[in-house]
Structure 1
């Protein structure tokens, strides 16, 4: 294979990986759904080889599972796996809140304040989808604000395995959770602005545990 063909193949594989990863983590493809190499190859306009390689990569990331002689499926995390992933989320986000509190008035603080203004409005009009999007943005800003590349890299992998965008909607379906979550975000930012690293880590970890409890309660209702 020529260097040009190699490059083209890598680009095609990358496009399939990005496209499938986005659909899985947002819930556009349901947990447990079968993934057909042939159907995906036709959909992406590629041969089956880049699809097969893309599925191997997504299996490494924990987003798909291959069942020998059965097929490939979108991973469905067990309650135990969700609990374990949230325990790691709590550690990473607590550390991120502490690091951000130590940095002072960085641009992410302004962005977080704007995020909370929009979140307050979304909660007031009972816009759960809008608020769910803002929740994701709040946590992303917190991680970026920590300014630690290694922490962010581990966090992104973790969020992909959780398919967090889908799970946050389940968490927010619990009565009163959106309002409580919004209040918790305000408290987190308040102590970060006060440059209180200890409190920032503590209240952030409290917030993640509360989110996990609401999520698990929501899954019990399914």
Structure 2
């Protein structure tokens, strides 16, 4: 048996030090991009990153390659990588698709959510209520993300969850900008309450519709979103 165990260990791929460095760098930069610490358009110089993480350029390049594969950064030949910056028009299109995906998550959650997940949703909503009038936008945004993550999990559809989370991650920095507006935080609580009520009540149609409306950029939300972009942005005229 010991011989078989030894053979199995020999065949198991070993994680090398550069791979470990690359994963750590990737996870750190990803978190900074999603939290808005690294804003869209920020340059990611290999030399600076090597110095920051105290490693060679090899793991830095691998980390950047993985971030580019996730569409979080853009890489061009002989130029520094930059955090992906999306046009207003592109973002609105992405929000429209994300709204439908999140609506489907909520619809499935209304059918499949467990009692433990309901309690987690209620706790997240209560925590957001306590922060609505505070200046701690970062914490409000993080708990908001947790609220949505519970719904993804409750949908019990891994592929849907992966696609929804991937798209949400790509627009995360822009969502956070909108969240910084006090009025938007108040509206978020009202909309979350409607989603929560529908899911707890098992109302699939209402859960879908309220979540879709919550995420989509319509009416005043669209105007607030457009205001985040400079007047010189040509995205809406293309």
- Whether the TM-score (by the shorter chain) exceeds 0.5 is yes
How many residues are paired up?
A: 218
Superposed CA deviations along residues 2-30 of structure 1, whole A, max 9, x for unmatched, are x9986222212111111111111111112
Tell me if structure 1 keeps the 8 A contact 2:117–2:150: yes
| 1:117 pairs with one of 115, 118, 126 | 126
Runs (4+) off by over 3 Å: 3-6, 124-130
> Structure 2: how far apart are the matches of 1:146 and 1:88?
17
> Structure 2: how far apart are the matches of 1:149 and 1:214?
34
1:68 CA displacement: 2.6
Greater Rg, structure 1 or structure 2?
A: 2
1:104 CA displacement: 4.7
Q: TM-score, normalised by structure 2?
A: 0.82
The residue number in structure 2 matching 1:171 is 178
1:221 CA displacement: 6.9
Say yes or no: does 1:55 pair with 2:37: no
1:129 CA displacement: 3.7
- Unpaired runs of 5+ residues, structure 1, are none
What CA RMSD, in Å, does the superposition of the two structures yield over aligned residues? 2.3
> Structure 1: how far apart are the matches of 2:164 and 2:96?
12
- Unpaired runs of 5+ residues, structure 2, are 1-11, 232-238
The residue number in structure 2 matching 1:10 is 19
| 1:130 pairs with one of 114, 139, 143 | 139
| 1:183 pairs with one of 190, 199, 205 | 190
The residue number in structure 1 matching 2:42 is 33
The residue number in structure 2 matching 1:154 is 163
Superposed CA deviations along residues 53-86 of structure 1, whole A, max 9, x for unmatched, are 2111111111111233332211111112211221
Higher helix share: 1
Q: TM-score, normalised by structure 1?
A: 0.87
The 1:4/1:202 distance shift into structure 2, 3 A limit, reads closer
The 1:139/1:21 distance shift into structure 2, 3 A limit, reads same
> Structure 2: how far apart are the matches of 1:74 and 1:146?
31
Tell me if structure 1 keeps the 8 A contact 2:132–2:182: no
> Structure 2: how far apart are the matches of 1:59 and 1:95?
28
